[in-house]
Amino acid sequence: MSRKNYWFLVVILFAVLSIFICTNIPFQLGLDLRGGSQLTLEVQPTEEIPKITPNEIEGVKAVLDKRVNGLGVSDSQLQTVGTNQLLLELPGEQDPSGAAKVLGETALLEFRIQRKGTEVKLRDLQSQRNSLESIIKLLEDNNNSAQLIKEININKEINQLFENYSINSDQILNIDQFNLLRNKINSDIADLFDATPLTGKYLINAGRRQDQNTNKWEVTLSFNNEGGELFADLTKSIAGSSRLLGIVIDGNSYSEASVGKQFETAGITGGAATISGNFTADDARNLEVQLRGGALPLPIDIIQIRTIGPSLGTQNIRLSLFAALTGLLFVGIFMILIYKLAGFVAVLALSFYSLFTLSIYALLPVTLTLPGIAGFILSIGMAVDANVLIFERLKEELLNGNTLIRSIDASFKNAFSSIIDGHLTTLISCITLFYLGTGFVKGFAATLGIGVVLSLFTALTCTKAILKFLMSFQGLRKISNFINPKLIPSPSINVQ
Amino acid sequence: MKSNFNVQLYKNRKVVWLISFLLCLISVIGMLICLRSTSIQAPLNLGLDYTGGTQITLERSCTDDCITLNTSDISNNIIALKGQDKNFISNTPPNLSSSQIQLLDNSKLISIRLPFLSAAQSESVVSAVNKSFGPFINKNTSVEIIGPSLGEQLLKSSLISLFFAFLGIALYINFRYDRRYSFLALFALLHDILIVCGVFSWLGYLFNVEVDSLFAVSLLTIAGYSVNNTVVVFDRIREKSLIDNKLSFKYQIDKAVSATLTRTLYTSFTTLLPLICILIWGGSTLYWFAFSLVIGVIAGSWSSIALAPSLLSITSQKDFD
């Protein structure tokens, strides 16, 4: 094996390796290509914590991380942006407002004890709640039917309730207004109870299950040791009495439980409790996620939401890929027409270049987005430029009457400084963009930057290696094979 | 030995300057008109990314023959939400009457632009439009909500990254060549960027084309491309002045430009090819991105072939030794 073909073998080896990587490691597609939601959350300062430090951001992120995992969206990503923002990507999630609700709410869990002398009031409120709940259930079962709402609308008692809670009931009511009313009643119920030291901070886990008999969803809680003791004390103090234990979340009472006489001596031990409000499966899941994640140390504000339908994405990726490939095909035809065999060498080198680049994308991995694909296409432009620079120099060297072999060496040497300058200036803007840009600007910078570095590599090694390899064949070693002789008017190179 | 081309740049330098001057003038005028216009009030027609707001895109589930909808009907439908929908009953409801509605792709897509809404509010809009103008392909619904502060931040970060990219490039050329080359390369770059911005200010003024964050990306790419092109020519001028130092500097510049002309034209052409393919087949998402790059590549080729070298010829050779 001669020395000049040694490099050619290395290039082929790299290419085979790249094909292996590209076919075995899947590419990471960005949200714009696979569909999903992207939320930007801003951490808000409070009176107690007026300045947001990286430490606080980490705290918020940890809680959000738990909640995101609880949502069960696979491949979700949560990253810090700037000094007070978090970027959350939920691939495949088409309902970002539901997710946003779960993420943004604090879910403060409290256990309260009923105040003495509130029995009558509590019974009234509970019966109001019960009738509201049956209306809500009825509406849900009948798909929020307008006819049904009309019937309920003329119900005097219900109308009175809406008036009492100053909920605007001038228009036709809908299920949301009934839910709102129920929450207001729940909040009034909570006000009949006194706070205790037992809160959500003693929770170690939350879960949900469906009651075998009633088919209703329940949220189960388990406390740490300290919380378990507090819970035992609490239940002991009201065991056998008429006072109830209220489970209050964010100021609304979800359920009020009595504690049986049998717990008078020790209270309910074992550190576990169940909340059996009127939960749907979704309610129970959301509550579970919020409770398990703990309370957010700082409030968050959702400042941006993007949702992209999956087929809009796939359509875009197909169109862009098609456009890019067609463009490259034209570039290839152009190069071969202009430069003959040298142009063919360039096409080969560019194919290797594309393979290397794609395998680096898969390996790193680079998340491919539409701007990322644009960056890739542009980096191919850079790679073509390097080849054009070399071949133009080659033509000049041949014009000056040099031999083919010497011309090839000289062309690489002479084009080097232009190639390096052009690539480095582009690389400088890529690095700037990568550090200062956010989101997809970063993706663009990453793909273009990788492209620039690899283009430098392929232009200086692959093109040369392939050229030299082809030159080792006697039959090809004519100038007229490599460069279109018509483009070189000098008689000195008319090799017949 | 004869070269393929024999460009007489020095002789025609005043024509080159006049052309560039006129192009820049038209660009500046376009930006001033946009700045003065009541609907834009900025040098460029800034899109959702920079101003903040809500963009909802709905895909109708009709195949080939989508009946055209009246956009003002949709607009009225949205305005009717105010005071009716629970998400819009508040002390400061968003201004729903400022919605902009467009039908795209033969009425297949409905694009709705609104002020900044909450997630729940945008959902109310989607379901209201769905009720009256559906059916839609729900899974293809796209909603973008960008808070006003985020838009401002994006604009700021785009400008900052542009500035630092320029600074980095200038420092590099300063280090590789000298201050005058670096100054002229930056000058050529600003010329290219000004022209691209000018084209988009006119497009924004006449056809309501908006610039998004991809536009900032394209400006940076153009900056890199323009400098790359200029540097190749400068590199050749320097080489020529080292070899043929008997010739006058003006003649060396002409020779260097002639020698690199084929390369610059080929390279511009091969870069334009994929971009033009994206313009034709790439779908709507990348259309204006590719368009700004096409303008930038053409302007960049012009400035590196004609403008930058002809400006270099004003100075005498010994300034570069």
Residues 6 or more apart whose Cβ sits within 8 Å of residue B305: B7, B233, B257, B260, B261, B264
The answer to whether A18 and A12 have CB atoms below 8 angstroms apart is: no
Average pLDDT over residues A482-487: 63
In this complex, the residue of A303, A381, A436 whose CB is nearest that of residue B149 is A303
Residue B46, SS3 per DSSP = strand
Query: Which pLDDT score, from 0 to 100, does residue B35 have?
Result: 93
Chain-chain contact of A392 with B262 (C-beta, under 8 angstroms): yes
Give the whole-angstrom CA distance, residue B190 versus residue B64: 46
Give the whole-angstrom CA distance, residue A271 versus residue A232: 8
Which stretch of A295-309, A473-487, B275-289 has the lowest confidence by average pLDDT? A473-487
Instruction: Give the C-alpha distances (Å, rounded to integers) separating A50 from A45, A46, A57, A80, A298.
Output: 5, 5, 13, 19, 10
Tell whether the torsion through CA atoms of B215, B220, B224 and B227 is positive or negative: positive
Two tokens, residue A102: 């779960």
Chain-chain contact of A312 with B2 (C-beta, under 8 angstroms): no
Residue B110, SS3 per DSSP = strand
Residue A94 vs residue A196, higher pLDDT: A196
Cβ of residue A431 closer than 8 Å to a chain B Cβ: yes
Give the whole-angstrom CA distance, residue B183 versus residue B169: 11
Cβ of residue A306 closer than 8 Å to a chain B Cβ: yes
Average pLDDT over residues A89-101: 72
Average pLDDT over residues A441-451: 84
Chain-chain contact of A323 with B282 (C-beta, under 8 angstroms): yes
Query: Which pLDDT score, from 0 to 100, does residue A377 have?
Result: 75
Question: What letter would DSSP give residue B67?
Answer: P
Residue A140 has pLDDT above 80, yes or no: no
**Pairing state of beta strands A28-29 and A367-368?**
parallel
Question: Please, where are the H alpha helices in B80-147?
Answer: 119-133
Probe site for chain A from B130, B139, B221, B272 (most A CB atoms < 10 A): B221
Chain-chain contact of B140 with A438 (C-beta, under 8 angstroms): no
**Pairing state of beta strands A245-249 and A252-257?**
antiparallel
Task: Find the closest chain A residue to B228 by CA distance.
Answer: A422
The answer to whether A15 and A355 have CB atoms below 8 angstroms apart is: yes
Cβ of residue A384 closer than 8 Å to a chain B Cβ: yes
Which chain B residues are Cβ-neighbours of A323 within 8 angstroms?
A: 274, 277-278, 280-282
In this complex, the residue of B216, B235, B275 whose CB is nearest that of residue A421 is B235
Residue A219 has pLDDT above 60, yes or no: yes
Two tokens, residue A333: 């035809």
Q: Radius of gyration (Cα) for chain B, nearest Å?
A: 25
Residues 6 or more apart whose Cβ sits within 8 Å of residue A399: A488, A490, A493, B1
Chain-chain contact of B168 with A302 (C-beta, under 8 angstroms): no
Crossing angle of helices B148-176 and A404-436, rounded to 10°: 150
Query: Which pLDDT score, from 0 to 100, does residue B91 have?
Result: 57
Query: Which pLDDT score, from 0 to 100, does residue A496 have?
Result: 36
Chain-chain contact of A381 with B223 (C-beta, under 8 angstroms): no
Count CB atoms within 10 A of the CB of residue A87: 17
pLDDT digits (tens, 9 = 90+) for A317-327: 677 778 878 88
Probe site for chain A from B91, B110, B161, B212 (most A CB atoms < 10 A): B161
Q: How far is CA B72 from the centre of its chain?
A: 31
Residue A169 has pLDDT above 70, yes or no: no
Q: Kindly state the helix (H) or strand (E) to which residue B208 belongs, with its residue range.
A: none
State the average pLDDT for chain A: 79
pLDDT digits (tens, 9 = 90+) for B110-154: 888 888 877 777 777 887 887 777 777 777 777 877 777 777 777
Residue A94 has pLDDT above 50, yes or no: yes
**Pairing state of beta strands A217-223 and A272-279?**
antiparallel
Per-residue 3-state assignment (H helix, E strand, C coil) for chain A: CCHHHHHHHHHHHHHHHHHHHHHHCCCEECHHHHCEEEEEEEECCCCCCCCCCHHHHHHHHHHHHHHHHHHCCCCCEEEEECCCEEEEEEECCCCHHHHHHHHHCCCCEEEEEECCCCHHHHHHHHHHHHHHHHHHHHHHHCCCCHHHHHHHHCCHHHHHHHHHCCCCCCCCCCHHHHHHHHHHHHHHHHHCEEEEEEEHHHEEEEEEEECCCCCCEEEEEEECHHHHHHHHHHHHHHCCCCCCEEEEECCEEEEEECCCHHHCCCCCCCCEEEEEEEECHHHHHHHHHHHHHCCCCCCEEEEEEEEECHHHHHHHHHHHHHHHHHHHHHHHHHHHHHHCHHHHHHHHHHHHHHHHHHHHHHHCCCEECHHHHHHHHHHHHHHHHHHHHHHHHHHHHHHCCCCHHHHHHHHHHHHHHHHHHHHHHHHHHHHHHHHHCCCHHHHHHHHHHHHHHHHHHHHHHHHHHHHHHHHCCHHHCCHHHHCCHHHCCCHHHCCC
Query: Which pLDDT score, from 0 to 100, does residue A464 have?
Result: 86
Give the whole-angstrom CA distance, residue A462 versus residue A412: 12
What whole-number percentage of chain A has pLDDT above 70? Answer: 83
Chain-chain contact of A309 with B147 (C-beta, under 8 angstroms): no
Q: Which of residues 42-71 of A touch B (CB under 8 A)?
A: 42
Chain-chain contact of B169 with A322 (C-beta, under 8 angstroms): no
Residue A194 has pLDDT above 60, yes or no: yes
Query: Which pLDDT score, from 0 to 100, does residue A477 have?
Result: 73
Residues 6 or more apart whose Cβ sits within 8 Å of residue A318: none
Give the whole-angstrom CA distance, residue B195 versus residue B200: 9
Average pLDDT over residues A277-283: 72
Average pLDDT over residues A150-169: 70
Question: Please, where are the H alpha helices in chain B?
Answer: 13-36, 48-51, 71-79, 119-133, 148-176, 179-207, 213-243, 249-281, 287-302, 308-312
Query: Which pLDDT score, from 0 to 100, does residue A292 have?
Result: 67
Task: Please write down the long-range contacts of B82-86, taking CB distance under 8 Å and 24 or more positions apart.
Answer: B84/A171, B85/B124, B85/B128, B86/A174, B86/A176, B86/A177, B86/A180
Chain-chain contact of B164 with A426 (C-beta, under 8 angstroms): no
- 10-residue mean pLDDT profile of chain B (321 residues): values are 66 92 97 90 85 81 72 77 68 70 75 79 79 74 76 76 84 86 90 96 92 83 83 85 76 87 90 87 81 94 93 66 45
Edge-to-edge strand order for the sheet containing A217-223? A203-210, A217-223, A272-279
In this complex, the residue of A82, A421, A436 whose CB is nearest that of residue B176 is A421
Chain-chain contact of B280 with A323 (C-beta, under 8 angstroms): yes
Give the whole-angstrom CA distance, residue A102 versus residue A480: 71
Two tokens, residue A271: 């550190």
Among candidate residues A47, A46, A43, A34, the one with its CA nearest the CA of residue A62: A43
Q: What's the pLDDT band for A330 if we cut at 50, 70, 90? A: very high
Query: Which pLDDT score, from 0 to 100, does residue A10 have?
Result: 86
Average pLDDT over residues A181-196: 85
Which stretch of A91-95, A257-261, B6-10, B126-130 has the lowest confidence by average pLDDT? A91-95
In this complex, the residue of B1, B139, B225 whose CB is nearest that of residue A310 is B139
Q: How far is CA B202 from the centre of its chain?
A: 12
Cβ of residue A383 closer than 8 Å to a chain B Cβ: no
ipTM value greater than 0.95 = no
Query: Which pLDDT score, from 0 to 100, does residue A347 have?
Result: 92
Among candidate residues A248, A255, A302, A294, the one with its CA nearest the CA of residue A275: A255
Residue B45 vs residue A240, higher pLDDT: B45
Q: What's the pLDDT band for A340 if we cut at 50, 70, 90? A: confident
Average pLDDT over residues A189-216: 80
Among candidate residues B119, B122, B102, the one with its CA nearest the CA of residue B111: B102
Q: How far is CA B163 from the centre of its chain?
A: 16
Give the whole-angstrom CA distance, residue A398 versus residue A388: 15
